[in-house]
Amino acid sequence: MKGTNIGELEELVLLVIGVLYEGAYGVSVLKEIKEQTGREVNISAIHAVMNRLEDKGFLRSEMGGSSNTRGGRRKRNYYLTSSGRATLDQVRSVREKLYNQLSPSASYNLSV
Amino acid sequence: MSKSFPSPPKWADRFLSWYCNPKLLEQVQGDVHELFYWRLEEKGPRKAKRSFAWDVIRLFRWSNIKRKSNKTQKLNNIAMFKNYFKIGLRNLWKQRMPSAINVIGLSLAIGCCLVSFKYIEFQLVRDSFHEKGDQIYLGTHKAFEDNGVYEYGYFSWAIGDLIREDYAGVKNVVQYNTRSVQVELGDQAFSENGAFTNKEFFDVFSFDIIYGDKEALANKDRVALAEMTAKRFFGDIDPIGKIVNITIGGESNDFEVGVVYKEAPNNSSIWPEVIIHPDWFIGDADRKTLIANFFLELEQGVDFTDVIRQLQSLVTVQNGFNLDRKYEEVGLEPLTTMAKNSDRIRFGLGSRPPMAPMILLACIASFMLILATFNYINIATAMATRRIKEIGIRKVIGSNRGQLVVQFLTENLILCALAMVLGCLLAAGFFIPKFNVISGSTLKLDILNHTNLQLFLVGLLFFLTFASGAYPAFFVSRFKPVRIFRGSESVGGKRRFTMGLLTFQFVLAMITIVAGVASVQNNNLYENKAWGYNQNDKLVVNLSKEKFQAFRSEAMKNPNVLDVAASFNSLNKHWDFRKMKIGELEYEGQYLRSDAYYPEFMEIPLAEGRYFDKAIPSDLTSSILVNQAFIRAFQLEDFVGATVTIDSTNFQIVGVLKDYFYSSFQDGIEPAVFKAQPDSLLTTLTFQAREDKMIELRDQLESTWAQIESEAPFSAHFQSEVRAREFEDMRGLRNVLVFTASLAVLLSAMGLFGLVSLNISARFKDFGIKKVLGASAMNLLGDVYKQFSFIVIFAVVAGSLLAVKVVDLLLVSVYGEHTPVNIVPLGLAGLLLLMVAAITINIQMRRVRLMNPAETLRTE
């Protein structure tokens, strides 16, 4: 098993698959990311990330149903596993912990 | 497909199906198709198509690409190779005799190959040790001389100075003059190769400095010595600051040793022993007329064609000097090709390696390789036919032909690797040291840090593996299992190919034996050849004109001296060719000055006329003796009255000497002339020693010398030894050829032995039955004999015909005039081959004779 640290795109894909719950596969994840964040990610990147996450044990997958637009080809559906969920929780808590330490009073000069 | 409903670009789809791992293909292809139709609605067909293609290309990544072998298959392969190795080793062990023949044969051939590779590489790769080698160029110019434009490897010093000052892209300029100088320290004196150059020499060329600092050479009274030279004078100590006396062209001066450097490896074209400040070379000479080789080191990255273009301005400068020498063009020659092109560049540095020995060695190596490879092919084929059941079973179990071929090649690789190791050991321990002695070279087998050699070894290993293993592997793997088990595969059937190879081997062996015998024959002829004069018991001493008389009168008191004569130089050590003219005819000939007595003293017989006579004054001024070749060349009917003009002086011929050899035998005899001179102009004394006292006399004269002359060293040699070098070379060549011939005989005999042995083994049961029925050993082996004796006899005949041509070529290039290949070497070689073949077959015959038929019939 690879390390439990995940990158930004990995986190995003993991979240989206969680949100989609059932019916998460390559194209639906891609569309969802585009809708929710406006980011256009290439399908190859999505596949690579999902494969990696599955290797890490955060996702599991099975072959699902087919549709006409796919020329009768089946799709591979992905599901969030409990360790995937735990990782998301952990990532979030780290973020929040750090966020809360930002001083609300200080003004950060953004214009460097 | 309708126009209203576009589909994804076909090529991209196909490409995807081609590369994509089949396990992933369905989901990936589904996804891209779905995306395509989605984009079709959103963005239109053009963009959708482009995106589809882009997606497919982006998906072309390692994790998606299909790979032929997955993990389980790989493991299987390793196991299989392990099995091949095991079977291969067992087979080698099981069939020890043929395997040993193969390994020994191949390792001998590999040893020969290594020697010739080392030698050829050493000869071809010259001046390669300089770190900046690719930036160093020899300055050249083209000029008109002798009715043509030639390239010359030097500049005048004035031009060299200009290049140093003016030209961009040129980092350093080093002028290089060589001249033999005499170096003295105390009572030791040596003649050394002196180089006149500046301290930048050490910046440009990679000569490692051992002691001292090159800056010391800026002072013109300091010199640099090569390590070996320094050792000769001072032993192992640091000689910096010591004083040596160097005589340059008659002028002696004291110099301080400033630098000691490691000398060049002997494939270097520049090998200075003493480096002296250039001012000593110039003296008062005009820099415009003085010439030197100039080396230019260019800045890194500068294109040398640019520099050449700039340098063309020197043509006008040189021609502006108003000297005889007019440049047509200025050029640069890379240091690395300088030696190779030294034929083209006149007065350059370095010399072209001699081709003849390289070709000879390459031929020998390839002969050996061919012999050993053929042995292998024959024996391996015969050996494999004994394993025909194994092949059948392997095929039935499911291995295909390719796998069988791989199996046999693997076994072959084991054997070749074994032979390789043995061959390297042989070469390092035996061949190369012996070869060094013969050729006077210093080759070493340094496998660990010699990239070319490593490449050669690996290349040779694979070449041998395939060259020797391919035929047996394909031959054996062709058998059909059904026929094997039915027993109808005719294994030992017609083996025309095998027999052809054997014949070829014997032909090669024949040629090498003939070459060996012919060279022995010619060598003996040479060594017993009359020199045309009496070289025995003559001691030659070189001395200076000043001490000539003193030494002569002192030496004559020695009781071991029977007689003495003086000359300018001794016969066979003298190189003075001059143009000689009678009327319109002109020839170049050897010109030797001596006292009046020398020709008679050397016992060169007279053909006509008389020797010089001291009593006749004109004999010392205007008379000459000529040889018969002279008379032939000038077509003189009668020598009396003929006037010979040499260097615009006229001479009368007083006598004709029988032809004698004044240089090497190969050079033959050209016109030669003796001119008598008063003793005051001569520098060599030849003493006739009492019989068997020659060595004693030399030692005595050496002490006499020490009393008279303290400065120059005593220099003497025996007249009978002037050919030592020539004979040594020939003996070396003869040894190489004889050695090659014996190897060739050994290899082909081994091949024959192996084949006969396998042939007999395969028919052992036949023999058993025949024996029971009362056949004699002769009956049994009749057809074995018939088969092989035909091959040997055919080979002897064909080999003889070929050898006459091939060996003759060799003899011409080595000996010049030689006895042609006659019945002696041919007969000897044929006899030898027939005998070896007969013995080989008879050893095998013994097995059959001693065989107990009951035993062979009982087994199985």
Q: Which helix (H) or strand (E) holds B577?
A: strand B577-582
Query: B823-850 and B496-527 are packed helices; what angle lies between their axes, rounded to 10 degrees?
Result: 130
**Torsion-angle region of residue B692: left (phi > 0), alpha (psi -120 to 50) or beta?**
left
Nearest to B33 among A45, A71, A76 (CB): A71
**Residue B161 CB: number of other CB atoms within 10 A?**
15
Amino acid at A33: I
Per the structure block, which two tokens stand in for B758?
């396998």
Residue of B nearest to A68 (CA): B34
Q: Which amino acid is at A22?
A: E
From the list A25, A47, A63, the residue facing B59 with the nearest CB is A47
Tell me, yes or no, whether B66 lies in a domain: no
When pLDDT is averaged across residues B223-252 and rounded to a whole number, the result is 82
Asked if B65 is an interface residue toward chain A (Cβ–Cβ < 8 A), one would say no
Q: Give the residue among B71, B720, B713, B101 at the shortest CA–CA distance from B419.
A: B101
| Vertex B199: Cα angle to B224 and B349 (nearest 5) | 85
Assess if residue A108 is contained within a domain.
no
Q: How far apart are CA B343 and CA B307, in angstroms?
A: 24
Decide if B58 and A63 are in contact by the 8 Å CB cutoff.
no
Q: Which helix (H) or strand (E) holds B655?
A: strand B649-657
The residue segments making up the domain with residue B843 are 507-530+724-860
Parallel, antiparallel or unpaired: strands B222-226 and B188-196: unpaired
Sequence-distant (≥ 6) Cβ neighbours of residue B633 within 8 angstroms? B585, B587, B589, B670, B671
Other CB atoms within a 10 A radius of the CB of residue B207 amount to: 24
B462 close to B410: Cβ distance less than 8 angstroms: no
Q: Does the structure show a pLDDT above 80 at B764?
A: no
Interface test with A, best of B15, B25, B33, B34 (most A CBs within 10 A): B34
Compute the distance between CA of residue B847 and CA of residue A35 in angstroms, rounded to an integer: 93
Residue B431 has what DSSP assignment?
I
**A65 falls within a domain:** yes
CB contact at 8 A, B108 and B365: no
Distance from B487 to chain A by nearest Cα, in Å?
A: 55
The pLDDT value given to residue B72: 47
CB-closest option in B34, B59, B63 to A27:
B34
Give the pLDDT confidence of B485-498 residue by residue, as tens digits: 776 655 555 567 88
Contact B63 A51 (CB under 8 A): yes
- B449 and B388 in a common domain: yes
Q: What is the mean pLDDT of residues B621-649?
A: 84
**Is residue B54 less than 8 Å (CB to CB) from chain A?**
yes
| B13 at A interface, C-beta within 8 A | no
Which chain A positions have a beta carbon within 8 Å of B28's beta carbon? 26, 47
State the pLDDT at residue B459: 93
- Looking at the complex, report in whole angstroms how far the Cα of residue A111 sits from the nearest Cα belonging to chain B: 37
- Helix, coil or strand: residue B190: strand
Q: What is the DSSP code string of B66-104?
A: --S--HHHHHHHHHHHHHHHHHHHHHHHHTHHHHHHHHH
Q: Which residues sit opposite B625 in a β-bridge?
A: B655, B674
State the residue range of the domain holding A21: 8-97
pLDDT number for residue B423: 92
Instruction: Measure A71 CA to nearest chain B CA, in Å.
Output: 7
DSSP assigned state of A94: H
Residue B424 three-state SS: helix
Which of A26, A44, A67 minimises the CB distance to B27?
A26
Total tally of structural domains belonging to chain B: 5
Smallest CA–CA distance from A64 into chain B, residue: B27
- pLDDT tens-place string over residues B772-824: 888 877 777 777 778 788 888 888 899 888 888 888 888 877 776 777 778 88
CA distance B412 to B401: 16
Cα–Cα distance between A85 and A94 in angstroms, integer?
14
B556 pLDDT higher than 60: yes
Domain membership of residue B498 (yes or no) is: no
Q: Say if residue B514 is in the same domain as residue B542.
A: no
Q: Which of B670, B665, B717 has the alpha carbon at shortest distance from B524?
A: B665
Same domain, B520 and B600: no
Looking at the complex, report in whole angstroms how far the Cα of residue B442 sits from the nearest Cα belonging to chain A.
59
Distance CA B786, CA B506 (A): 16
Residue A44 forms part of a structural domain: yes
**Interface membership of B53 toward A (CB under 8 Å):** no
Low-confidence ranges of chain A (pLDDT < 70): 1-4, 105-112
pLDDT tens-digit map of B256-299:
888 888 877 767 788 888 888 888 887 777 778 788 888 888 88
Tokens of B438: 């013969």
Nearest Cα of chain A lies from the Cα of B407 at a distance, in angstroms, of: 39
Residues from chain A contacting residue B33 (CB–CB below 8 Å): 69-71, 73
Nearest CA in chain B to A49: B63
Q: Rounded to an integer, what distance in angstroms lies between the CA atom of residue B554 and that of residue B709?
A: 12
The sign of the CA dihedral B365, B371, B377, B380 is negative
pLDDT at B468: 85
Chain A residues touching B63 at Cβ < 8 A:
48, 51
At B608, the pLDDT band (50, 70, 90 cuts) reads: confident
Q: Which two tokens stand for residue B312?
A: 């063309």
pLDDT class of B209 with cuts at 50, 70, 90: confident
Check whether residue B84 and residue B150 sit in a common domain. no
* Residue B71, pLDDT score: 47
Task: For residues B282 and B211, give the distance between their C-alpha atoms in angstroms, rounded to a whole number.
Answer: 27
Beta bridge partners of B173: B296
Would residue A25 count as lying in a domain?
yes
Nearest to A26 among B31, B37, B63 (CB): B31
Q: CA B415 to CA B88: how far, in whole Å?
A: 9
Q: Give contacts of B5 with chain A, Cβ < 8 Å.
A: none
Query: Which tokens sit at B484?
Result: 């094997």
Asked if B34 is an interface residue toward chain A (Cβ–Cβ < 8 A), one would say: yes
Closest by Cβ to B55, choosing from A43, A51, A67: A43
Does B619 contact chain A (CB < 8 Å)? Answer: no
Is residue A3 one of the residues assigned to a domain?
no
pLDDT of residue B1: 41
Write the CB contacts of B730 (distance below 8 Å, at least 6 apart in sequence).
B523, B526, B814, B815
User: Vertex B337, ends B335 and B338: CA angle to 5°?
Assistant: 60
B483 lies in the same domain as B616: no
Is A69 within 8 Å of B38 when comparing Cβ atoms?
Answer: yes
pLDDT in the model for residue B266: 65
Q: What is the CA radius of gyration of chain A?
A: 17
Q: Assess B23–A contact: CB distance below 8 Å, yes or no.
A: no
| B219 touches B258 (CB < 8 A) | yes
pLDDT tens per residue across span B666-700: 667 888 888 888 887 788 888 888 888 888 888 88
**Which tokens is B763 given?**
């028919």
Does B687 map to a domain?
yes
Chain B partners within 8 Å of A47 (Cβ): 28, 31, 59, 64
Strands B243-248 and A74-80: unpaired
Across B598-627, average pLDDT: 86
- Do the Cβ atoms of B520 and B738 come closer than 8 Å? yes
Query: Inter-chain contact A42–B63, Cβ cutoff 8 Å?
Result: no
Residue bearing tokens 């004269």:
B701
Q: Is residue B264 part of a domain?
A: yes
Comparing CB atoms, the residue among B30, B54, B63 nearest residue A70 is B30
Residue B558 corresponds to which tokens in the numbers above?
A: 């020695």
pLDDT for position B4: 56
Distant-in-sequence, close-in-space partners of B98: CB < 8 Å, separation ≥ 6: B379, B382, B383, B754, B757, B758
**Is B344 part of the contact surface with chain A (CB cutoff 8 Å)?**
no
Q: Domain check: are B752 and B855 in the same one?
A: yes
Domain end point (choices B346, B381, B401): B346
Are residue B519 and residue B543 in the same domain, yes or no? no
Q: Are residues B326 and B177 in the same domain?
A: yes
> Is B31 at the interface with chain A, CB within 8 A?
yes
Mean pLDDT of B325-343: 82
Domain boundary among B696, B722, B748: B722
DSSP category for residue B215: G
Higher pLDDT, B123 or B461: B461
Q: How far is A39 from chain B (nearest CA, A)?
A: 16
pLDDT in tens, B319-330: 888 777 788 888
Distance of CA A51 to the CA centre of its chain: 12
Residue of B nearest to A73 (CA): B30
In a domain, residue B701? The reply is: yes
Range with lowest mean pLDDT among A5-19, B624-638, B691-705, B843-857 = B843-857
- Residue B700 Cα distances to B316, B517, B560, B692, B706, angstroms: 62, 44, 9, 14, 10
ipTM of predicted assembly, 2 dp: 0.85
Asked, for residue A104, whether it belongs to a domain, the answer is no
**B667 token code pair:** 């050079």
Rounded CA-CA distance B684/B688 in Å is 13
pLDDT value at B421 more than 90: yes
Select from A43, A63, A74 the Cβ nearest to the Cβ of B32. A43
By Cβ distance, the residue of B27, B37, B59 closest to A44 is B59
**pLDDT value for B379:** 82
DSSP B619: G
**C-beta atoms surrounding B662 within 10 Å:** 22
The whole-angstrom separation of Cα A89 and Cα A87 is: 5
Q: What average pLDDT score do residues B76-93 get?
A: 82
Mutate to test the interface with B, among A43, A62, A76 (most CBs of B within 10 A): A43
Beta strands in A41-88, from DSSP E residues, in sequence order: 59-66, 74-80
In which region does residue B532 sit, left (phi positive, over 0), alpha (psi from -120 to 50) or beta (all else)? left
Q: Where would I find the H helices in B272-322?
A: 279-282, 304-311, 313-320
Q: Answer whether B33 touches A (CB < 8 Å).
A: yes
Q: Which residue is it, tokens 């840090």?
A: B449
Q: How far apart are CA B653 and CA B627, in angstroms?
A: 10
Of A27, A51, A63, the CB nearest to B35: A27
- Do residue B31 and residue A67 have CB atoms under 8 angstroms apart? no
- How big is chain B by its Cα radius of gyration, in Å? 38
Give the gap in angstroms from C-alpha B89 to the nearest C-alpha of chain A: 42
Helix (H, G, I), strand (E, B) or coil at B286: coil
Closest CA to B593 of B569, B626, B619: B569
Determine phi and psi for B111, rounding to 5 degrees.
Answer: -55, -45
State which residue of chain A sits closest to B61, comparing Cα positions.
A44
Of A44, A67, A73, the CB nearest to B29: A73
Handedness of CA B689, B694, B700, B702 (dihedral sign): positive
Q: What is the mean pLDDT of residues B514-525?
A: 85
- DSSP characters for B2-35? -TTS----HHHHHHHHHHB-HHHHHHHHHHHHHH
Nearest CA in chain B to A61: B27
Pair (B701, B728) in one structural domain? no
Kindly state the average pLDDT of the residues B464-477: 85
Q: Which of B767, B773, B780 lies closest to B855 in space, CA to CA?
A: B767
Ramachandran region, residue B544 (left: φ > 0; alpha: ψ -120 to 50; beta: rest)? beta
pLDDT of A85: 92
Question: In angstroms, rounded to a whole number, what is the distance separating the alpha carbons of residues B178 and B264?
Answer: 15
Q: Is residue A43 part of a domain?
A: yes
Contact A47 B30 (CB under 8 A): no
Length reported for chain A: 112
The count of CB pairs under 8 A between chains A and B is 61
Asked if the structure places residue A90 within a domain, the reply is yes
3-class DSSP state for residue B691? coil
Q: B68 CA to chain A: closest CA distance, Å?
A: 21
Q: What is the predicted pLDDT for the residue at A1?
A: 41
d(CA B399, CA B404): 7
Q: Which residues of B touch A75 (CB under 8 A)?
A: 27, 30-31, 34
pLDDT of residue A33: 92
Helix axes B355-385, B451-476, angle to 10 degrees: 30
Whole-number average pLDDT of chain B: 82
> Domain total for chain A?
1
What sign does the dihedral A9-A10-A16-A20 (CA atoms) show? positive
Q: Give me the CATH number covering residue A33.
A: 1.10.10.10
Closest residue of A to B26, CA-based?
A73
Q: Does residue B79 share a domain with residue B17?
A: no
**B414 and B433: one domain?**
yes
